[in-house]
């Protein structure tokens, strides 16, 4: 297997990869350490590879990382069984903070990125040398990636790399980074040696103050929302603007992680579906709540837990009362769907 990144396990690099990681991690850490220890923050790691950046962030800071990867070798190394005398196996299981990790087995498309931005919100997005792996126009891909969170670390290839993937398109579409990025609030934070040529690979930090809305309740929904996100380094809340006021408090603390329905639809494999199902079946339901609206999209998941949200409504978005059903039966129904994977 191509060991691209350093192999990070519990605070140490166990094996060096072919690509510099420490110098690329440094500006990411310097930014992320601004988040208060009292507030967790969510990282989206697109093209997580062997998980170096996610593993290190969750081990050193109060981060929850949602990793997307599609390479079968890397997926197996990350989430496969732990094998004796094989360092590159069960890497997530080897991490002390594995309960802060989520892994999705999916090759994201431009359409996926755009849909994800409508129903999820991330504090930090890592897009390190992934843009040129997309088939769609690179400028459109960058725009969709930036829309996913407040801050994006974007590492781009250059036309000075003779062995870069999709070199012809890179020379055409990414020859001038300043022209591509001029619409954003960005700064250069690192330049490290490329692995596919003599040139340096630049990394940019982009601040996007406009990613402050959630316009869909869950992946693929036809319903439109007008929820606003208030996010700083010390706190994060969601402010709801619902027509029917009984659907919950207008202002709620943001729960870090990813929506369980997104996990379900986009190939979530860590935590395992079996573990998620067990967590759901044994979930301690909140008291003093009508518990009429228990559905998959009303849970947030991260590596070690699930959290029920928006459970205190008695009417649906159209103002009609939810049917009265057994809360435990609804939990079991969601757990079964997760376990079946469909």
Instruction: Give yes or no: residues 224 and 315 share one domain.
Output: yes
Same domain, 249 and 284: yes
Residue 241 has pLDDT above 90, yes or no: no
* Three-class DSSP labels, 98-155: HHHEEEEECCCCHHHHHHHHHHCCEEEEEEECCHHHCCCCHHHHHHHHHCCEEEEEEE
Tell me the whole-structure pTM to 2 decimals. 0.95
Residues 296 and 324 in one domain: yes
DSSP helix/strand/coil, 268: strand
What domain range is 246 assigned to?
213-340
Q: Cα dihedral angle (296, 342, 223, 119), rounded to 10 degrees?
A: 70
Which of 161, 187, 207 lies at the terminal end of a domain, its last residue? 207
Does residue 135 contact residue 163 with C-beta atoms inside 8 Å? no
Tokens for 40, please give them.
């967790």
Burial zone of 168 (CB within 10 Å; 0-12 exposed, 13-18 middle, 19+ buried): exposed
Place of tokens 């498309």: 109
Is the pLDDT score of 221 beyond 90? yes
Sign of CA dihedral 187, 192, 194, 199: positive
pLDDT digits (tens, 9 = 90+) for 141-152: 999 999 999 999
Query: Which of 337, 258, 250 has the alpha carbon at shortest distance from 305?
Result: 258
String of b and e for 284-307 (b: at least 16 CB within 10 Å)?
A: eeeeeeebbbbbbbbbbbbbeebe
Give the pLDDT confidence score for residue 26 in this predicted structure: 98
CATH of the domain at 201: 3.40.50.150
SS3 sequence of 41-106: EEEEEECCCCCHHHHHHHHHCCEEEEEEECCHHHHHHHHCCCCCCCCCCCCCCCCCCHHHEEEEEC
240 DSSP assignment: -
Between CA 93 and CA 156 the distance in angstroms is: 31
Confidence of residue 54 (pLDDT cuts 50, 70, 90): very high
Residue 187 lies in a domain: yes
Residues 222 and 292 reside in one and the same domain: yes
pLDDT tens track for 27-46: 999 999 999 888 999 999 99
Task: In whole angstroms, give the CA distance from residue 66 to residue 48.
Answer: 9
The pLDDT assigned to 165 comes to 92
Report yes or no on 86 lying in a domain.
yes
Cα dihedral 181/150/260/105 (nearest 10): 30
Q: What is the pLDDT of residues 101-119, one digit of tens each?
A: 999 999 999 999 999 999 9
Domain boundary among 145, 176, 207: 207
Structural domain ending residue among the three candidates 157, 185, 207: 207
Residue 2 lies in a domain: no
Q: Kindly tell me if the per-residue pLDDT of 317 is higher than 90.
A: no
Of the pLDDT bands very low, low, confident and very high (cuts 50, 70, 90), residue 315 is confident
Assigned domain for 1 exists: no
Nearest CA to 184 out of 157, 212, 204, 156 is that of: 204
pLDDT tens for 172-217 read 999 999 999 999 999 999 999 988 888 899 999 999 977 688 899 9
How many structural domains comprise the chain? 2
CA quadruple 221, 334, 277, 248: dihedral, nearest 10: 70
């Amino acid at each position: 297997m191509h060991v691209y990144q350093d192999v990070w396990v519990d605070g140490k690099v166990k094996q060096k990869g072919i690509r510099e990681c420490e110098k690329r991690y440094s500006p990411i850490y310097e930014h992320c350490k601004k988040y208060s220890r009292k507030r967790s923050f969510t990282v989206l790691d697109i093209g997580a590879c062997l998980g170096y950046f996610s593993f290190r962030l969750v081990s050193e800071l109060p981060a929850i990382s949602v990793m997307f990867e599609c390479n079968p070798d890397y997926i197996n190394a990350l989430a496969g069984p732990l094998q004796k005398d094989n360092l590159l196996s069960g890497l997530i299981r080897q991490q002390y903070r594995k309960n802060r990790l989520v892994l999705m087995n999916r090759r994201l498309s431009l359409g996926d990125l755009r849909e994800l931005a409508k129903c999820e919100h991330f504090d930090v997005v890592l897009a390190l040398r992934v843009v040129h792996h997309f088939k769609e126009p690179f400028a459109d891909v960058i725009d969709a990636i930036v829309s996913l969170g407040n801050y994006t670390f974007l590492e781009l290839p250059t036309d000075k790399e003779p062995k870069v993937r999709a070199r012809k398109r890179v020379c055409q579409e990414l020859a001038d980074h300043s022209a591509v990025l001029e619409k954003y609030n960005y700064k250069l934070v690192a330049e490290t040696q490329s692995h596919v040529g003599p040139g340096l690979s630049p990394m940019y930090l982009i601040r996007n103050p406009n990613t402050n809305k959630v316009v869909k309740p869950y992946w693929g929904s036809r319903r439109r929302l007008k929820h606003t996100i208030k996010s700083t380094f010390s706190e994060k809340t969601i402010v709801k603007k619902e027509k029917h006021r009984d659907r919950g408090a207008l202002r709620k603390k943001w729960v870090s992680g990813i929506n369980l329905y997104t996990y379900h639809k986009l190939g979530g494999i860590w935590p395992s579906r079996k573990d998620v199902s067990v967590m759901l079946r044994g979930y301690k339901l909140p008291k003093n709540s009508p518990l009429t609206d228990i559905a998959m999209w009303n849970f947030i998941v991260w590596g070690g837990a699930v959290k029920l949200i928006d459970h205190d409504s008695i009417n649906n978005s159209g103002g009609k009362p939810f049917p009265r059903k057994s809360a435990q039966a609804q939990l079991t129904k969601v757990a079964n769907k997760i376990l079946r994977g469909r």
